[in-house]
């Protein structure tokens, strides 16, 4: 079941009500979407390609029209309002700066279109350049700037006319890893200082976890879960979210019994594990159990765990602060463990027998992801 957002107790700035989108009249790209975006929050729409996240952003921007349903901003239905009358700033992956204009001229453009007085335009351009710490670059052209500087100017242009809402479509995708991580923090700090509602689209889980107040995880045109980064990671609502957010180990099994939030799952090997019942069906139905690689403990540390296995080390990958340990459980089952260097009492080696422990509190029982 897809988890849509309900009332939050905070003022809703943007509301999608039963919004659907199809291009061919048959395939729904967005399905019956109900979503409230809180005023002043940083919401990320996250999901794989084709999941509907960018289509939602484009409908909010006005570049696409919903097939059915309503989109409201500040209580006003905007379905038929053209993009340039929505008071929304937009930042694209390719920056979309005018190459024949200087930085200052790029920033002046959206203000000139709105026919602001020249003195106001100059003041707003100066303020926007200070905001992104590029006040000395007003006379340069975009091609004279680095990728990070161009992205800052694109952000400044989206903010210069003081919009009530800023939309960002994969804005950091063209940057290298180090610069992308730096810009994530810069954008988040800027959002915190301005208090404007930001809606950010990405397929990068790490980016979403770093920047967002909340994250809406999309799949097949529906929101599977909308929550804080910590809740999505630690308490995924279903098997898709568990597999898409961060790394996760999954083992197939059958629900043996359930007692409130606790349950027992029988694995193909015959072993029975104790887990938290997060999203399971009736007793006897198929289930998967999911656990994060860093929640699995080895050898002596496994002694107090409800779930213990004997395994064999299959592969070791040194990663500096931790070692990734691939374990063979037999019966074609395996686990990936992130073992901190500081907690490895001795050197591991391939083919070595090892004891494995998984605390029941960190093993989530979920219904299998429906097949396509």
Q: How confident is the model at residue 355 (pLDDT cuts 50, 70, 90)?
A: very high
Same domain, 212 and 271: no
Q: Is residue 31 part of a domain?
A: yes
* Residue 274 and residue 143 share a domain: no
* CATH number, position 189: 3.40.50.300
Residue 77 has pLDDT above 70, yes or no: yes
- Rounded CA separation 105/98 (Å): 9
**Do both 251 and 299 map to the same domain?**
yes
Span 94-153, pLDDT tens digits? 878 999 999 999 999 999 989 999 999 999 999 999 999 999 999 999 999 998 899 899
Specify the DSSP class assigned to residue 94.
Answer: T
- Which is nearest to 49 in space by CA: 201, 227, 240, 215? 201
Using the predicted structure, report yes or no on whether residue 372 has a pLDDT greater than 80: no
* CATH number of the domain where residue 302 is located: 2.40.50.140
Taking a C-beta distance cutoff of 8 angstroms, is the pair 13, 165 a contact? yes
Task: Give the domain range for residue 234.
Answer: 12-240
Q: How big is the CA angle at 157 (ends 155 and 162), to the nearest 5 degrees?
A: 95
For residues 68 and 66, give the distance between their C-alpha atoms in angstroms, rounded to a whole number: 5
**Cα–Cα distance measured from residue 110 to residue 233, given in angstroms and rounded to the nearest whole number:** 39
Are residues 197 and 93 located together in one domain of the fold? Answer: yes
Are 260 and 173 in the same domain? no
Query: What letter would DSSP give residue 163?
Result: -
Q: What is the DSSP letter of 330?
A: E
In this predicted structure, what is the pLDDT of residue 1? 41
Look at residue 369 and give its three-state secondary structure. coil
* 222-255 burial: b if 16+ Cβ within 10 Å, else e: bbbbbbebeebbeebbbbbbbbbbbebbbbebeb
Q: 323 and 341 in contact (C-beta within 8 Å)?
A: yes
Domain end call among 216, 240, 264: 240
Structure token pair of residue 163? 């919009």
Separation of alpha carbons 67 and 28, rounded Å = 9
Average pLDDT over the chain reads: 92
- Both 52 and 181 in one domain: the answer is yes
Q: What pLDDT was estimated at residue 169?
A: 93
CA angle 246, 147, 191 (to 5 degrees): 60
Backbone angles phi, psi at 294, to 5 degrees: -80, -10
Q: Looking at the predicted structure, is the pLDDT value of residue 91 above 60?
A: yes
Q: Structure tokens of 129?
A: 């350049």
Residue listed under structure tokens 């597999």: 243
Judge if 30 and 132 occupy the same domain: yes
Residues 202 and 57 in one domain: yes
Query: What is the number of structural domains in the chain?
Result: 2
Q: Determine which of 24-28, 282-286, 325-329, 345-349 has the lowest per-residue pLDDT on average.
A: 345-349
Same domain, 168 and 258: no
pTM above 0.85, yes or no: yes
Q: How far apart are CA 130 and CA 122, in angstroms?
A: 12
Evaluate if residue 57 carries a pLDDT over 80: yes
Residue 236 shares a structural domain with residue 253: no
160 lies in the same domain as 47: yes
Please identify, among 183, 208, 240, the residue that sits at the C-terminal boundary of a domain: 240
pLDDT tens readout for residues 183-213: 899 899 999 999 999 999 999 999 999 999 9
Is the domain of 158 the same as that of 205? yes
Query: Residue 357 contacts by C-beta under 8 Å, 6 or more apart in sequence?
Result: 296, 297, 298, 301, 302, 303, 304, 305, 307, 308, 309
* 211-260: pLDDT as tens digits: 999 999 999 999 999 999 999 999 999 999 999 998 999 999 999 999 99
Distance CA 13, CA 20 (A): 20
């Amino acid at each position: 079941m897809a988890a849509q957002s309900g009332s939050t107790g905070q003022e809703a700035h943007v509301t999608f009500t039963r919004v659907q989108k199809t291009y061919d009249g048959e395939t729904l790209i967005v399905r019956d979407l109900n979503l409230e975006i809180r005023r002043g929050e940083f919401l990320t729409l996250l999901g794989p390609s084709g999941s509907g996240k960018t289509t939602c952003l484009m409908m909010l921007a006005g570049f696409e029209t919903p097939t059915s349903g309503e989109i409201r901003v500040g209580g006003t239905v905007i379905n038929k309002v053209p993009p340039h009358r929505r008071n929304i700033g937009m930042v694209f992956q390719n920056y979309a700066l005018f190459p024949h204009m200087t930085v200052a001229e790029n920033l002046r453009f959206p203000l000139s279109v709105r026919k602001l007085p020249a003195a106001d335009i100059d003041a707003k351009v100066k303020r926007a350049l200070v905001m992104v710490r590029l006040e000395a670059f007003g006379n340069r052209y975009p091609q004279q700037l680095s990728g990070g500087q161009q992205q800052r100017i694109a952000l400044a242009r989206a903010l210069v006319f003081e919009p009530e809402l800023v939309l960002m479509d994969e804005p950091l995708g063209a940057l290298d890893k180090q610069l992308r991580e730096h810009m994530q923090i810069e954008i988040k700090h800027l959002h915190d200082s301005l208090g404007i509602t930001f809606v950010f689209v990405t397929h990068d889980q790490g980016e979403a976890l770093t920047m967002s107040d909340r994250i809406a995880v999309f799949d097949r045109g529906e929101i599977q879960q909308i929550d804080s980064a910590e809740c999505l990671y630690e308490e995924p609502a279903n098997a898709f979210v568990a597999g898409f957010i961060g790394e996760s180990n999954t083992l197939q099994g059958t629900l043996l019994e359930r007692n409130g939030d606790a349950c027992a799952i029988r694995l193909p090997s015959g072993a029975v594990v104790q887990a938290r019942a997060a999203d399971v069906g009736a007793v006897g139905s198929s289930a998967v159990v999911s656990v994060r690689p860093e929640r699995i403990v080895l050898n002596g540390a496994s002694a107090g765990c409800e779930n213990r296995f004997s395994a064999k080390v299959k592969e070791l990958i040194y990663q500096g602060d931790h070692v990734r340990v691939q374990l063979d459980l037999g019966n074609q089952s395996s686990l990936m463990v992130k073992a901190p260097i500081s907690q490895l009492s001795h050197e591991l080696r391939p083919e070595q027998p090892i004891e494995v422990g998984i605390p029941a509190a960190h093993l989530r029982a979920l219904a299998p992801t429906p097949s396509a």
